[in-house]
Each structure stands twice: as C-alpha cells, then as structure tokens.
A and B are shown apart, each in its own frame.
Chain A
C-alpha cells in the first residue's frame, strides 16, 4: 500500500473528526477564546479536578476528571497528564481515554506498575477533589466513530482494553448497531477491567465478548485458557472477507503477535490499527 493511499484515508477521517468537533464547538464557546483550531485547543494544559475514583481491580483504578473547556474527544484517543512535585520536578504520562465522548468529563483507567513513578501515585494517593494538569485529546488514527460503522474486531490484552472500552461505550451511547466482537486476554478473571459492564454488554445482540485467561482461568471455565493464537482469532473474529476494522491494544508482544496472525489469516494490513503499551510507570 502506498503512503498516498493511507493519506487519503486519513484525511477522510480527519474531516469527519473536524465536522464532529465543529458541531459541538458552540457548547464550549464560553471556554474557548476565538475559534482556535481543535488541535491547538488540545495542546493547551488545563487544570482538571478529580470528580470520581472507581477501583476496577486490585491493581487498577478509574479516575474521572472534570475538565473545564474540554474539547470533544473520539473513542480511542489519549490524554497527557503532568504532575508537579514541590521541588518543581515534573513527570508526564499518556493514558488512553476510557469514557465515550457522550459522557461528561474524561475517564482514564490506570494500571499500577509496582515500581512505577506515576501509576502508584494515581492509584494510591490521588483523592476526589485533587487537581491535576491534563491536555488532549490526542491521536487521530486509533479512533472509531459510530458513523464509521462495522464490523468491528476489538482485541485487547490486559489494560489494553481501555481505549477499546471507549469504543464499546461510544457504540452503545450512539445506539450503533455495528457488529462488534471483543477478544480480551487477561491473566485471570480478577484482572479483567469493567467486568460487570462487559457482562451486561455481552448480553446484547450484535456484541460478542470472548475472553481468554492465560494464567488462572476461573473454576469450571470451559472457554479459552491460552495465549491468543490463529484458531482463536479465526473463531472469534469476523472473516477477512467481511473486511472488519480491527483495533488491537495491549503490551507490545501481544499486539505484534495478534497483528501478525491476522495478516496471515488474510486481513488486509491497512484494516488493522494497533496501539501498544510500552512500560509507562
């Protein structure tokens, strides 16, 4: 595939995003000086207030921010956080947005990296009412808008579920009927984010949720209990002829493996979008 083809496709996407932003801009007029382009609004650091904390698993917390003037985001985008210590030292990290654009505020879900610098703080120290610098939304490629349609094949490894969850929530909030299949790989069921919500989502028509547990499947589990492989992807995902939009997010090795297997199954590489979690403590 030539670069120019990708460009045409991408500028189409950007056009849609711009129209979406354009429609909503008047909602935020009181916060926006003039009609600054959306990209420039995204680059501005804003002070967010923590409005809610939700414990998701033993090592992950969802943080909901109230952000005055927040530009509308797309499912799959990320934000940057900036933390400042008393001595002026600053740390920045990127986190995928978990909430759909239709929900007020911005939610992220942070996995605690045991020896990390920022994620233990966000999990263990942060309180409702605390203020923190945030900017975004960023990333114009790993996005899904309900008007893009389906079928969708979402593949998540561990906390790689977060941006995919934003897509599932966006699908539900817009009453989209796009066929969507989620394949989620986790070590055990205790490690699965948004467990109850996924259960409810999976009970709906057009949504298939398949899970594989790589270390400790629940007692009596008869489903997948291994790392993702060719058979699993073929069994869960739409066939390549259905030309699904594929979104894969997770640790680098997981994403590399899933993308490679899908290409070998016959999915066109340009239909496969990946987001990889490097270590980001």
Chain B
C-alpha cells in the first residue's frame, strides 16, 4: 500500500481510457523515439528477413518477397516501459504466423536480431496466434527509420522494447537467452499488465 503523496492530485482521468492503461502508464498523443544508439539505414535492395536457428531449414525473404506476403492491419495499444502508452495505433505488415508457416520447428523461444546489433528475446508462443507481426507501415505511411523502418517487430501485448526496430531475423531457440535490454536490467518477459519493467519485478 503506497503512502499518499502530500499535495499530489493527478490529472482528471477518463475511466474508459484508464481501463486500457496498464499500471504506472499514462497516455501519450505523440510517438516518442527511444533507441540505445544511432538509427541504422540498410538499403532495401540489400535488406532481407530471415528465420534461422532451430528450424528444419533457414528461410529468407527479400523486401519484395516480404511485401508480396498476405498482409494484416492490426490496430493496437502500445506500452513503452518508460511509462507512456499510445492507444489505437494502426499498422500494416505480415503476421509472424505467416512467416513461421515456412519452417518446421520445435523451438520454445525466439531471439529477434536487428540492424545496429539490437536483440530481444521472446517465448515463441508470444509471437504466434495472431499476436505479433513484422510491420512496415504506420498510420498509412511507410514506417520512418527512427521508428524502426523499413520494418520492425510488433508485439503489442508486451512492453514496446520487445517490438524490435530494424528487425532482420528471428533466431529460433530451444532455450531462452536474454537480449539487449534484458541483459541491462530490464525484465526477461515484460508483461505491462503485471508491470514487469525491470529484473526482479
């Protein structure tokens, strides 16, 4: 039970939106940028997306091949571990289910790898079942580089650092291996509804 902070009243809050906000989050109208380093720029003619690791055979798609796959247009709420949430964001991309249909695997986890060296780990079950996508459009426009373009992972039910920007491959694994932020004090799983921000939460 937290003690009351003298003199703090907070802003009037709308119950409808409040029900969609995980604990400790507040609504942000803008789309803040958070990255650990410079924004990488890979030309599309050299861009590929791969599924490798514990699979029967690795698969790779070029940019054109990715765009040719069946698309989905998820509308989702996103929750950044730095406390902002953004409701009803619109994306276009390819479901991870669609990509995984190209391989056979008994893997339990996946490590997403990105241009610039960023990585993040997830249970395989969290990127299947129409809960995760490789997205390349945001609000009807090509995804800007600072927000992860040309393509990023979108896993909206976990904190947004799991939705890796500039994603280039998914490495399927038989075990869980911490990614970049997960090795730097952030939670291994990152469920915003359980407020799993940091190691130990």
Contacts and interface: CB of A to CB of B under 8 A. Distances in A.
A210 interface: no
Nearest to B180: A6
A42 B38 contact: no
Nearest to A124: B7
B82 interface: yes
B184 interface: yes
Interface in B139-196: 146, 179-181, 183-186
B32 interface: yes
Contacts of A1: 116-117
B10 interface: yes
Nearest to B114: A3
A41 B26 CA distance: 25
A205 B181 CA distance: 36
Interface centre among B37, B146, B180 (most CB of A within 10 A): B37
Contacts of A201: none
A270 B40 CA distance: 11
Nearest to B171: A3
Contacts of A273: 36-37
A43 B13 contact: no
Q: Interface size bucket, A side?
A: 35 or more
A23 interface: no
A83 B184 contact: no
A256 B146 contact: yes
A12 B83 CA distance: 29
A89 B13 contact: yes
A82 B25 CA distance: 11
Nearest to B80: A278
A102 interface: no
Interface stretch (A137-145, A167-175, A189-197, A237-245): A137-145
Contacts of A208: none
Q: Interface size bucket, B side?
A: 35 or more
Contacts of B26: 91, 117
Contacts of B184: 10, 14, 139-141
A2 B25 CA distance: 33
Contact of B5 (A5, A10, A84, A255): A84
A151 B34 CA distance: 25
Contacts of A91: 8, 10, 24, 26
A53 B1 CA distance: 27
B200 A279 contact: no
A42 B185 contact: yes
Contacts of B43: none
Contacts of A130: 5-7
Interface of A: 1-3, 5-7, 10-11, 14, 37, 39-45, 47, 80, 82-86, 89-94, 117, 121, 125-127, 130-133, 138-142, 252, 255-256, 259-260, 262-263, 269-270, 272-274, 276, 278-280
Interface of B: 2-11, 13, 23-26, 28, 30, 32-40, 80, 82-84, 111, 113-114, 116-119, 146, 179-181, 183-186, 197-201
Given A84-B2, A255-B33, 17 more contacts: A7-B180, A11-B183, A37-B199, A43-B198, A43-B201, A82-B24, A83-B8, A84-B3, A84-B5, A117-B11, A131-B6, A259-B37, A270-B117, A272-B37, A274-B36, A280-B83, A280-B84
